[in-house]
């Protein structure tokens, strides 16, 4: 499996790069600082965001474009370079300048993320040769999760997670004894708190935990992956989400629902986001359909199986109902399907009680 997670340098940049309101005097001071030290990436990013948010296209073009150019020339593989600041409100002449820069950078490296960043620019500006560039950029990468997500974007489809779901459907279930032990462990520690402490963990720690969870799932690695990926769910791009982190989190969410459905982890945002509330986390529907509809459908199937397996558990039904409420805006038919199943199981349970 190819991986395109941020480098340590990029991750540190992302954690430090928070938007700040900048005065005219501070703008001038920061420009002087950057002139003296061009590698002050956080300052550059703050200036780019400032110009993007607070100035019209005509007034900010020169001030902003020079910093966009620097990033494309010096950090083209950073996911920051695919953000809206780099792709929208550019004007035709600036668009052509950036497009030429990206095409030159693509000729220099096979790195996939720089190709993804370049494609965001072309897509948002409705490039006339978009399909041709897609084939050129991603030839040989057709099965990469990023490329499949971009194909969904261009074709208004929702298939990029199908392979992941197929693999998850083949994983063996835990036996009853193992589930009981897991439930005892789940109640013995504050796993939400443990996940929270992992939010600012290093990318290397994340990769170790993700590999451990993939090989042999456990709560320690699940909490580490859930926390570390939580702040990386969404992206400031036209795609709106990072498909690699979403893929990793789908493993965790399904595992929790299948094995710990009556615990508080089964309604925890740390462990079930973004599937439990995509719109609340900024992953909006495209032409009426959530880009995460198939993972959501898969998780609804998992919930229905757990509701059946724990037929006498009120807590499982409550957790499942909470999940249905969270997905109602993004996937109303799936929310209804889960609620209908809950109503059916409740009625069956009541009938069983009457018979006894």
Q: Are 319 and 265 in contact (CB under 8 A)?
A: no
Do 106 and 171 fall within a single domain?
Answer: no
Kindly report, residue by residue over 247-284, the tens digit of the pLDDT. 999 999 999 999 999 999 999 999 999 999 999 999 99
List of residues 6+ apart from 46 with CB closer than 8 A = 17, 19, 20, 22, 30
Do 131 and 246 fall within a single domain?
Answer: no
Interval 158-181 mean pLDDT: 94
Within a domain: residue 124? Answer: yes
Which pLDDT value is given to residue 68? Answer: 96
Give the integer Cα–Cα distance in Å for 6 and 9.
Answer: 8
Do 115 and 46 fall within a single domain?
Answer: yes
Look at residue 168 and tell me whether its pLDDT is greater than 50: yes
C-alpha to C-alpha distances, 228 to 11, 195, 248, 327, nearest whole angstrom: 11, 7, 11, 23
Closest C-alpha among 91, 138, 145, 96 to residue 119: 138
Range of the domain at 327: 162-189+231-355
Q: Which residue has the tokens 């950078």?
A: 105
Do 62 and 127 fall within a single domain?
Answer: yes
Do 174 and 311 fall within a single domain?
Answer: yes
Closest C-alpha among 140, 93, 94, 92 to residue 115: 140
Q: Are 23 and 32 in contact (CB under 8 A)?
A: no
Do 63 and 135 fall within a single domain?
Answer: yes
Q: What percent of the chain has pLDDT over 70?
A: 96
Cα–Cα–Cα angle for 173, 176, 182, nearest 5°? 85
Do 263 and 123 fall within a single domain?
Answer: no
Cα–Cα–Cα angle for 318, 319, 321, nearest 5°? 65
- Domain termination site, one of 79, 106, 141: 141
- Domain termination site, one of 85, 107, 141: 141
Interval 229-255 mean pLDDT: 94
Give the integer Cα–Cα distance in Å for 173 and 53.
Answer: 49
In this prediction, residue 355 has a pLDDT band, given cuts at 50, 70 and 90, of: low
Within a domain: residue 222? Answer: no
Least-confidence region, from 54-68, 181-195, 222-236:
54-68
Q: Are 221 and 210 in contact (CB under 8 A)?
A: yes
Which pLDDT value is given to residue 87? Answer: 93
Within a domain: residue 39? Answer: yes
Dump the DSSP string for 284-296.
--BTTB-TTHHHH
Q: Are 328 and 278 in contact (CB under 8 A)?
A: no
Least-confidence region, from 2-11, 117-126, 340-349:
2-11
Dump the DSSP string for 36-87.
H-TT-HHHHHHHHHHHHHHS-HHHHHHHHHHHHHHHHHH-TTSGGGGSHHHH
How many structural domains is the chain composed of?
A: 2
Interval 326-347 mean pLDDT: 96
Interval 131-152 mean pLDDT: 97
Specify the pTM.
0.92
Do 299 and 344 fall within a single domain?
Answer: yes
Do 135 and 246 fall within a single domain?
Answer: no
Which pLDDT value is given to residue 59? Answer: 47
Which pLDDT value is given to residue 15? Answer: 75
Within a domain: residue 114? Answer: yes
Which pLDDT value is given to residue 320? Answer: 98
Which pLDDT value is given to residue 352? Answer: 66
Give the integer Cα–Cα distance in Å for 22 and 34.
Answer: 15
Do 88 and 235 fall within a single domain?
Answer: no
Q: What percent of the chain has pLDDT over 90?
A: 77
Do 242 and 343 fall within a single domain?
Answer: yes
Look at residue 128 and tell me whether its pLDDT is greater than 50: yes
Q: Could you say which DSSP state residue 11 is in?
A: H
Which pLDDT value is given to residue 19? Answer: 67
In this prediction, residue 55 has a pLDDT band, given cuts at 50, 70 and 90, of: low
Interval 35-64 mean pLDDT: 80
Dump the DSSP string for 172-233.
PPPPHHHHHHHHHHHTTS-HHHHHHHTTT--HHHHHHHHHHHHHS--HHHHHHHHHHHHTTS
Do 185 and 287 fall within a single domain?
Answer: yes
Kindly report, residue by residue over 191-221, the tens digit of the pLDDT. 999 999 998 888 889 999 999 999 999 999 9
């Amino acid at each position: 499996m190819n991986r395109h997670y941020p480098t340590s340098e990029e991750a540190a940049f992302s954690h430090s790069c928070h938007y700040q309101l900048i005065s005219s005097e501070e703008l001038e001071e920061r420009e002087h600082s950057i002139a003296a030290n061009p590698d002050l990436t956080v300052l550059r990013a703050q200036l780019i965001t400032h110009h993007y948010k607070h100035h019209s296209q005509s007034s900010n073009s020169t001030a902003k474009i020079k910093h966009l150019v620097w990033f494309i020339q010096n950090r083209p593989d950073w996911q920051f370079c695919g953000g809206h600041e780099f792709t929208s409100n550019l004007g035709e002449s600036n668009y052509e300048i950036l497009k030429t820069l990206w095409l030159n950078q693509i000729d220099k490296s096979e790195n996939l993320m720089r190709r993804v960043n370049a494609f965001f620019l072309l897509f948002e500006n409705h490039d006339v040769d978009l399909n041709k560039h897609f084939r050129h950029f991603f030839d040989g990468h057709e099965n990469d999760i990023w490329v499949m997500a971009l194909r969904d974007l261009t074709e208004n489809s929702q298939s990029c997670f199908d392979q992941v779901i197929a693999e998850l459907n083949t994983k063996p279930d835990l036996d009853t004894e193992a589930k009981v032990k897991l439930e005892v462990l789940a109640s013995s520690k504050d796993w939400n708190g443990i996940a929270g402490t992992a939010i600012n963990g290093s990318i290397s720690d994340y990769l170790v935990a993700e590999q451990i969870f993939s090989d042999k799932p456990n709560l320690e690695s699940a909490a580490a992956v859930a926390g570390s990926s939580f702040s990386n769910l969404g992206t400031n791009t036209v795609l709106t989400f990072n498909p690699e982190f979403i893929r990793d989190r789908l493993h965790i969410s399904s595992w929790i629902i299948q094995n710990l459905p009556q615990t508080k982890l089964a309604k925890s945002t740390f462990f079930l986001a973004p599937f439990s509330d995509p719109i609340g986390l900024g992953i909006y529907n495209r032409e009426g359909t959530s880009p995460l509809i198939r993972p959501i459908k898969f998780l609804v199937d998992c919930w229905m199986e757990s509701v059946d397996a724990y037929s006498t558990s009120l807590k499982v039904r409550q957790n499942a109902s909470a999940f249905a409420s969270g997905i109602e805006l993004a996937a109303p038919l799936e929310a209804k399907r889960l609620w209908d199943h809950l109503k059916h199981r409740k009625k069956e349970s009541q009938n069983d009680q009457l018979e006894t």
